[in-house]
Amino acid sequence: MAEPWSHRDSPNLIANLPNLRTAMKSPSTVRPRSGTLGRLLDNSGYRMHRFESGLEVLAILVATLVSSAGHAATLIALGTAGAGPGETAMVPVRLQSDSAQVALQFDIRFDPAQLRPGTALTLSGATTTVALSSSPQAGLQRIVVYTRDGSALGTGDIANLTWYVPPNAGPSQATLSVTNAIVSDRSATAAPVVSTSNGVITIRSDTAPVLQDATVVAGQFVVRLLGQSGKPYRLQSSSDLIQWNEVGQGSPVDGVMTFRDPILPNRNQRFYRAQSLP
């Protein structure tokens, strides 16, 4: 069996992409060098909670504006997604870095009883980006993303990962744990990723709503609801968890529906809950 690839084998990460592909077939892990921790990245945040009581399923999300506390040198983060039994979930890969990175590699550990890994996909229009994935062993997926021309990957979403939920999966939260992450800049200097963030796939029942990313756009909280296509749902908001106001109603198209809620002055936190309608 080929020796597992390590960035110590060569100073040039991009020139060793064939070795990267060989490494992706091996369950051995890449061991990044230790480095100096950079400043923390905490520009915004959200917490998501899901409650079940009897036959009624309720999803509550807390949307919060958080002031910046600095930046990490490099952050690789997986997003969140929701899917029902027999469905496919799409999880974004996000990159934040103080310097221009042209390639990255990391492993994802997951519970194979909850999820089956799919393929890594490049974003629409990203013609110079390549995304590769493999499964060296059960419960492990290896991801490599790089640019063909050595240009920077940029920041924000750089790829999507597909995950299949088995038909017999019950409602649960499936964690995608990021490990063994390493990045390289254009000078072929490989360095460990100083910060990673795990992904979560919410495996729902056939009709249970799931509240996904809460973001702030143009003075509004933007909330995504995942649910059964064609089934009606209601979204409500509150500032104190006592008084609830309706934001809107509707039915998801392709399992997704988006709500926009204006941010009121001097109120930078809001609670949301979603409920299935008859």
- Give me the CATH number covering residue 188: 2.60.40.680
Residue 271 falls within a domain, yes or no?
A: yes
Q: Which of 156, 172, 203 is the last residue of a domain?
A: 203
The residue with greater pLDDT, 229 or 203, is 203
Say if 38 falls within a structural domain: no
What is the predicted pLDDT for the residue at 264?
A: 78
Give yes or no: residues 238 and 117 share one domain: no
- Residue 94: pLDDT over 90: yes
Q: Has residue 37 been placed in a domain? A: no
Same domain, 108 and 153: yes
Residue 2 inside a domain? The answer is no
- Mean pLDDT over each residue of the chain, to the nearest integer: 76
Whole-number pLDDT of residue 126: 87
**Domain co-membership, 96 together with 145:** yes
**Quick one: 148 and 84 in the same domain?**
yes
Q: What is the pLDDT of residues 143-200, one digit of tens each?
A: 999 999 999 998 999 999 999 998 778 788 999 999 999 999 888 777 777 799 999 9
What is the CATH number for 219?
Answer: 2.60.40
- pLDDT at 111 (0 to 100): 96
Q: Identify whether residues 15 and 105 lie together within a single domain.
A: yes
Question: Could you tell me if 182 and 85 lie in one domain?
Answer: yes
User: Is residue 39 in some structural domain?
Assistant: no
**Residue 155 included in any domain:** yes
Residue 45 or residue 159, greater confidence: 159
One domain for residues 121 and 137: yes
- Structural domain harbouring 178: 7-31+72-203
In a domain, 132, yes or no: yes
Count structural domains, the chain. Answer: 2
Q: What is the pTM of this model?
A: 0.56
Domain closes at, from 162, 182, 203: 203
Task: Read off the pLDDT of residues 57-82 as tens digits, 9 standing for 90 and up.
Answer: 444 555 544 333 343 488 999 999 98
Q: Kindly state whether residues 59 and 11 are assigned to the same domain.
A: no
Q: Are 216 and 235 in contact (CB under 8 A)?
A: no
Q: Is pLDDT at 103 greater than 50 in this prediction?
A: yes
Of 203, 220, 239, the position where a domain reaches its end is 203
